[in-house]
Structure 1
Amino acid sequence: MNLFFRMFSICFMLIVLVDDGLGIFENECKESKCGSHGPAVRFPFRIKGRQPDHCGYPEDGFHLSCSERKETVLELPNSVKLSINKIDYFSQVISASDPQGCFPKQLPKINLSVSSFRFHYQFDYWENNCTIFHCLQRTQWSSATLISCQSSPNSYVYSNPSNSGGDVNKIYNCTKMYEIINFPFLLCDLDIRVVRLSWSFPRCNSCEAHYKYCRLKPNSTQPAIECYGKLQKKGALNKFVATGIALALLLLAVSVTALFYVYGFNKKEKEYQSKIEKFLDDYKTFKPSRYSYTDIKRITNQFKEELGQGAYGTVYKGKLSEEIMVAVKVLNNSKGNGEEFVNEVGIIGKIHHVNVVRLIGFCADGFRRALLYEYLPNESLAKFISSADAKNHFLGWKRLQDIALGVAKGIEYLHQGCNQRILHFDINPHNILLDHNFNPKISDFGQAKLCSRDQSAVSLTTARGTIGYIAPEVFSRNFGNVSCKSDVYSFGMLVLEMVGGRKNVDAKQGNEDQIYYPEWIYNLLEGGEDLRFEIDAEEDAKIAKKLAIVGLWCIQWNPVDRPSMKTAVQMLEGEGDNLSIPANPFSSSNHTRMNSRVSRRQLHHQLEAISETE
């Protein structure tokens, strides 16, 4: 009962305080709106016809009006009228749009040099000239942006930065309509719908910061402002609304108290609610966002910084915000029939693992396709294992072991942790990306395939992967059927390259008698010799030997002899002292000959071939 009376007393005091504050609004300058969903209008603005002149700041632009559709209208010089969507009094920023839904039509008439307002942008703000063109057909010029609201099926209007170079008239047979001088670059680049304007004077944000109203000082010879009263965030309230709010607060307090006791005695219910919230939060990460090609140009700053090139596209550095960086892969239009793009979005967009790169979004804008990934600053593993004796790139054996373990866990997740088994088919150092802590993430699912978890093999029409990491059965079925063990082989070759720090296939070497690189490592281990690569301590020697043994187990010619990725993870997590060197699968005269105790008939029986899941 004491708790109840305390809450009742608090709510009664709230009623008194709110009631006392209402006196602020019982005057001719109280806060007002044009419509129920419009922005609240108060000083330095006023609504003409509803409030006297002294309710607003005595300059053009601060005297607003209401349209027939109950929109709040701001009038700028040259009879430019904009609909106000939002007024941020603390930041002193207005969000406005064209009443007819086509802001670019207003651009030629806007002259803010004689106005109280300026364009306001937080990012990438610089002034530029842009030219408006009229074309009889769609252009393919990358810097030109279609203004859709001014275009029709047989008439196209484009905006283009004037300093972008080239003569669009000659190239695309377009006609110049007019030029816009000294406007924010973003307004020239985007088919913009909403514009943000800011004002510097009067400065009422200090009043807003203290939750007070702002007004002109009475009887002042010069326009000066002062703070007064108590700002009510919800606008003008009357006594009945205030009483209703107080009663609602009382009811809420009683409800919260009851719920507190209920949840105190029902811990399982609280845990269940926590699981639901976590699921909803995780679920959002499984749905990549879709972006337009205009968004891609903005995010990459007109493709300014290139990170690298691959067989299917070019990767650029991009920025979603000041805090969020992305890697944007723009796919080549001439490569393939879009299967790689469908695979990336369809497969990686559904999975989430600490060792699999996250797909943030994608672009499918006509023939233009792009993929947005999380940005990983340390680039690919290939950068750090090209040479074992390059000390400035060598990561150290402990970190190499952690990277190998992370990659193994990522592949194990693809094989066993998803609703359908995912075969990657292109595990190689270039597709292993490293974050700022050198944690590995598997990328590039363009050649991946899905199959049922209860099946063990998949049929392919053509070989896929990167030379030097492709399992022998992918080239020839004489070695067995293609299965998840094909990824195990690629992982083994990756680990052996991490151990030796050299390429598995050197295209520049023309000597056919050159010893096969994995066989060279096997011979060192079999002969009891040390792996002579950048080893300074006994612990490093143990790690190098363990990695070499795991790699050799994974590249056995017979797929049945290779461990599963789960077993490979266990081998890497162990001490390595009990690992035995596998049987020699190599022959110096012909290292592509399968050396196995299991016959091809037995192998075919153990790996039943199935068709891939489309």
Structure 2
Amino acid sequence: MDISLRIVIPSLLLFVLFIVDLGEGHNSCPELQCGNGPPIRFPFRLKDRQPDQHCGYPGFDLYCSHNNDTVLELASSVKAFVNSIDYESQFIEVTVSDNCFPWNIPGLHLSPPFQFKNSLYNYSLFSCTPETDTYTEYPYRVIQVPCLNSASASVLAFRSDVDIDDLPILSCTKMYTVSSVPYNIWSSPSLELTWSGPNCGHCEGKGKICRFENNSTDLKTECFDPDKDKGRSRKIMTTVSILGSFLLTLVVYALYRVYRYDKIEKENQARIEIFLEDYKALKPTRKNVDVTVENTSQIYFPEWIYNLLEQKEDLRVYVEDNGDAKIAKNLAIVGLWCIQWHPVDRPSMKVVVQMLEGEGDKLTMPPNPFASTNPTRTNVSMPARHLNQELEVILESE
């Protein structure tokens, strides 16, 4: 693959990832919910589905139970189920599994960011013998706690700031005192909690959504319009789609270039192998230059060919036409280049292919590759050689 493609493709990938990240921004925290529960968005977050801390304000962590209920941990021992969330008025309605908050009061210690919505009072709980309608005439001072009743006793909550000396409590035994709880905690299966910060109610009132300010380090929040943000996201996604299509086209083109380059290299390698096979058939052999003499001197066949070419004599081979004679001469010159004594003088395989495919008239004679400096007899009788079969493979490759 070209170096330009190796640089462009990773750069485009990084650019697309940057645009996607820019488009997501805070929108990587979509509105979620557990089953049919209330929608969950900032300042709340589902910590089991939104591990990113910036999706919610500190202390507003919720999670989905195995039954797909939305759970809020009020204390280490009290897990409340969220019935509804009013983001504009900033209160949340919760219940407990047994619908009896009084059972959980000993472990119910609210801490920021949540507080009870209604007014708070101190109460004393008494266990009394069951007596029908005994305390119905004291509705503001005595509250029945049905979920704590048993077959042998009724539980009543008395406000600590109210005088109870005139109440018939002789048949009652004090259980314990509870501080700072709303009056409806004794009789209602649900509680309403509120929070003061972050103040996202004004965003909801404008039809906007609250979130952290971009790059904020001090938990500051801001309002944003989800409709405008969706339009911006659509534009970004359109841009990403176009860039993705371009990138895919570029990758396909790059793969084609790699495939084409590999194919050409294989073809060149095959042609080189064919040439080497042909050259092996003409590898240097000892030839008798004077068949009329018994004790003949010996000379390498390539050296004999070199001398013929140097003296511009005929190669003394039988060929069918002048074209074949020209090919034979070209092969001889290229072969002599390939057997140069010094490796640096030998052409590369790529250059060899170019020499074979080029015009023979432009080929230059190589330096004399033979150590022998004695004059060589060229006017000896040499048996004629038919090169038709030897050239057939080369001709096919041209």
TM range (shorter): 0.3 to 0.5
- Of the two structures, which has the highest relative contact order with CA contacts closer than 8 Å and spacing of 6 or more? 2
Q: State TM-score, norm by structure 1.
A: 0.31
